[in-house]
Structure 1
Amino acid sequence: MKIRILLVLASLLMVYNANAQFRFGVEAGVNVSHAMETTGTKAGYNVGVTADYSFSNNIFIESALKLSSQPYGDSGPIGTYYWDKLKNEMEEYCSESVSPNYLILPIRLGYSFILSDKCRLSLSAGPTFGVGLFGRGNLKYTGPADGTVEKEKIKNIFDNEDGRELSRFEVGGSFRLGFTFREHYCIGGEYNIMRVTGEHRPFTHINVFAVNVGYKF
């Protein structure tokens, strides 16, 4: 009896492995990002490698390891100053443009629909994780009285000497809709909502929409 059970399990495992398929690929695209507590929406990029594992003809899990640029901009008053002799309350304004670059790892479970012999539609969702690698920042301060402008550049926003560094880690959810043509050529749209963790953060969440093209080997 035990031998029969083992033979059945072995047969099921062989069928499972026969239906499973593991594929690598490359992908690149354009990001449009907006941090929730800021005023600016900016364009970036993403590029990296992908890996798919098919459990059946329809169910799959997909992942990627990408360099992703997630820039943001902001402007507004940063403090109260008394510039004139009457001590009138006036504000100094600051505008900033920051371009953080992350190494991201999305892991999504998906389902694909066969539209034709040469085209598939897929939907997938899952968690994604990111770690900040490098990024620059540009700040511009404008005084309220005489319009005096001061500019400041930050070489690495993740390792700033004056203590204003951006937290490196982000975690969130990823949603993707994609098309595959002739089993190799891919185009898709992604929406990622990321939460920036840690103490040093000018915002708590950033939304990233991406349009990508890729090739599966």
Structure 2
Amino acid sequence: MSSAGGDFSDANSRLGYNAGIIADYNFSESIFFRTGLDFTAKGTEVEVKYGDTGYQKWNYRLNYMQLPLSFGYKMDVSDNIKLSINAGGYFAYGVYARKCYKSNLIFCYDGSGDETVVNDDEKGFDNIGMHAFDAGLLGGVGIEYKQYMLLIGYELGLYNTMSGKYDGGDPSWKNRNWSFSLGYRF
């Protein structure tokens, strides 16, 4: 992708975290409904290169309160071990956002190249050009041993979280998130 003479490198994922509670409502021994409330950290790093004249780099950190809603199926592997699979959706609202910006573009006003390094730090979803609302699909698999759980999940955002235009373009940024969770069932 290119914009205003610059080339976007691939956006890199950021390692995040989540913490929360989940609750299962069992319709039968096998079928369940799962919901909860999570605090989750998402984000990305984006770099735009302008040939030999410099670069611009953005680092986005987005924190959400998230409500997952899914249906699932459990099966017994042994007396103490169960496997599960679930699918559904999520709704999230941003509670904190931060964008760190760095650039070393070389400006040539008079024919001489003077390197200028710019660092900027903005906070708040509105201030960084992002929507606070997010929604998408989710799915996961899990294994339960007695009271312990190991869950692996994936979230695919369906909502464009970018709220404005960038260099005349209209980018569509959607959250994608892998999660690995350990839990203890009370």
Contact 2:160–2:172, Cα closer than 8 Å, also in 1: no
What RMSD, in angstroms, separates the aligned Cα atoms of the two structures? 2.1
SS at match of 2:57: strand
Contact 2:162 2:173 in 1 (8 A): no
Runs of 4+ in 1 over 4 A off after TM superposition: 89-92
Structure 1 Cα separation of the partners of residues 10 and 67 of structure 2: 25
Q: Look up the match of 2:122.
A: 154
CA shift, 1:90, in A, is 7.8
Q: Deviations over 1:134-166 (max 9, x none)?
A: 12221001113433211000122x131xxx431
Paired with 1:71 and 1:198, the residues of 2 have a C-alpha distance of 11
Give the counterpart letter for 1:155 in structure 2.
Answer: K
Q: Which runs of 5+ in 1 are unaligned?
A: 1-36, 79-88
- 1:42 corresponds in structure 2 to 14
Q: Report the equivalent of 1:72.
A: 44
**Unaligned 5+ runs, structure 2:** 1-8, 107-112, 165-170
Partner secondary structure for residue 49 of structure 1:
strand
Distance in 1, matches of 2:37 and 2:161, equals: 23
Matches of 1:175 and 1:63, distance apart in 2: 12
Equivalent residue pairs, number: 166
Give the AA of the match of 1:110.
G
Letter of the 1:168 partner, please give it. Answer: A
What letter is aligned with 1:136?
R
Tell me: CA distance 1:46–1:167, structure 2 relative to 1, closer, same or farther (3 Å).
Answer: same
| AA in 2 matched with 1:175 | G
Q: How far does residue 203 in structure 1 lie from its aligned partner after superposition?
A: 3.8
Structure 1 position 123 matched with structure 2 position 90: no
Partner of 1:83: none
More helix by share: 1
- TM-aligned CA distance change 1:214 to 1:136, over 3 Å: same
- Equivalents in 1 of 2:150, 2:86: separation in Å? 14
**Which residue is 2:76 aligned to?**
114
